[in-house]
Amino acid sequence: MLEGEIIKFYRKKAGLTQEDLGKDICTATHVSRIERGETRYSAEIIKLFSQRLQIDIEKEITAVKNIEIKLQKWHNSIILERMNEVTKIKEELENIQYINASNYAIYYQLLLARYFILRKNIDKTERILKRIEKESPPMSTYEKNLYYHVRGIYYLDQYTRLNNVNRQSALQELKKINIEEYGNREYYYHLGVAYHWTQSKVMAYFYGEKAFRYFKKTNNYARAILAESLMLVQLKESTQLDFEEIVVRYESLIELSESLGLLDKRGMILHNLGLMYFWKQDFKNAHVYYDKSVKEADKQSLPYLNRLYNYLDNAEEGKLLSTNELLKQANEGLALSEKATNDLYKILFNLLIFRFNNQFDEYYLYIDQTALPFFKSHHHVTHANKYAKLLYNYYVKTEQFKKAVQTGDMFINKP
């Protein structure tokens, strides 16, 4: 039966009809029945077909039988983020021309989508998911859960890239997963991140901890660092005593990331620790960690823009940089945002520039007419709440009470 499926695939690939393939060998009807696995056939016929199609049938059969094992190995490498191994297995799978005609075609396509997410090629990921959604192919129970998982990760990546995607989408997809059917407990981490983006701190911590235990058990230290960092970010409202313990945990993660050569993870953790100090209004310590995190980020990346904005916002709050230096770096951030065509950061850096120039009439008008409408429509709740409160206080101070009530409603009645 497997031989018949392979023969059919390569016959179509060669542009031959069943009659063309069977010429001087057997009838077109017999070719059809062989391809469908409905008749017995001799090894000699398969050999003649193989010669006409210029394939090594034994090699093709061996490759097909190894597809599932290779796909499972590829999936595991993606979870572990072992990029050399991930790339090597991808190349091996691409050499199996029959794979997209096999029973493993959907599994392969879903893992290919995960691969492109890992490579930050969201356009290719989107094309694969849209094609699967449009064609609605029959999927096994495992594949359905993998499909929900990949879609969830896709939405998370879209949100962290700050595109216009509803932050609830990732959570909705990930909650469809039946972990007993799926078995891949890596998804706890993505579920935790989804809860984090929807401001559900308890659930984010809960699933972050489950992911942390799973990653530690499987010796996936890079992902364990991310999971523990996710847990720590939820502890914003900690007491001073607890906060000191949190700082120790952060510093331990920073050292571990450095020892493992995970500099991208180290930069993220430095930034998160800076954020914790900022929330505590300890602007001097926040400045130290923000500064390190900015220096470790690629200037062409979104993390750099995010870190630079927070660094400058904190520096101005704590009066830690001169106005000239603040303006110089804010203008750099604006230029990079325009180059990246990123509307969110164009708005955020414009807000900083108005502030640093003491252009407060323009500042509050810009918040009212440009920033808040954008934050609301793009579901940037944290920024919407922050700037709505600033605008509310401004309207109260200037006795514009009707506008103050309208603005206050934005952060009192959160979306």
Which residue type, as a one-letter code, is found at position 34?
A: I
**Owner of token pair 């999927």:** 139
**Looking at this protein, which amino acid is placed at residue 370?**
T
Q: Which of 281, 201, 276 has the alpha carbon at shortest distance from 246?
A: 276
CA 137, distance to chain mean position in Å, is 24
How far apart are alpha carbons 47 and 55 in whole angstroms?
9
Pick the CATH number of 2-65 from 3.30.450.20, 1.10.260.40, 1.20.58.100, 3.30.420.590: 1.10.260.40
Contact 152, 174 (CB under 8 A): yes
Around Cβ 137, how many Cβ atoms within 10 Å? 12
Q: Does 2-65 match 235-358 in CATH topology?
A: no
**Residue 163: is it exposed, middle or buried by C-beta count within 10 angstroms (0-12/13-18/19+)?**
middle
Give the Cα-Cα-Cα angle 311, 276, 325 (nearest 5 degrees).
15
Give the whole-angstrom CA distance, residue 5 versus residue 102.
8
H or E element that contains 6? helix 2-13
Which residue stretches of 66-121 are H helix? 67-80, 83-94, 105-118
Domain boundaries, the chain: 2-65, 235-358, 366-415
Catalogue the long-range contacts made by 240-248 (C-beta closer than 8 Å, 24 or more residues apart). 243/276, 243/280, 246/276, 247/273, 247/276
Query: Going residue by residue through the chain (415 aa), what tens digit of pLDDT does each one get?
Result: 678 878 888 888 889 999 999 998 899 999 999 888 888 888 898 889 999 989 888 887 777 778 888 999 999 999 998 999 999 999 999 988 778 877 888 999 999 999 999 998 989 999 999 999 998 888 999 999 999 999 999 998 875 544 445 568 899 999 999 999 999 999 999 999 999 988 899 999 999 999 999 999 999 999 999 999 999 999 887 776 688 899 999 999 999 999 988 888 999 999 999 999 999 999 999 999 999 999 999 998 889 999 999 999 999 999 999 999 999 999 999 999 999 899 999 999 999 999 999 999 999 999 999 999 998 888 787 888 899 899 988 888 888 888 888 777 665 555 4
Which runs of E-coded beta strand occur in 176-326? none
- Tell me the H-state helices in 162-233: 168-174, 179-182, 187-197, 201-217, 221-233
As given in the structure block, the two tokens for residue 356 are: 């640093």
Asked if residues 380 and 364 have their Cβ atoms less than 8 Å apart, the reply is no
Q: How many CB atoms lie within 10 A of CB 159?
A: 23
CATH 1.25.40.10 fits 235-358, yes or no: yes
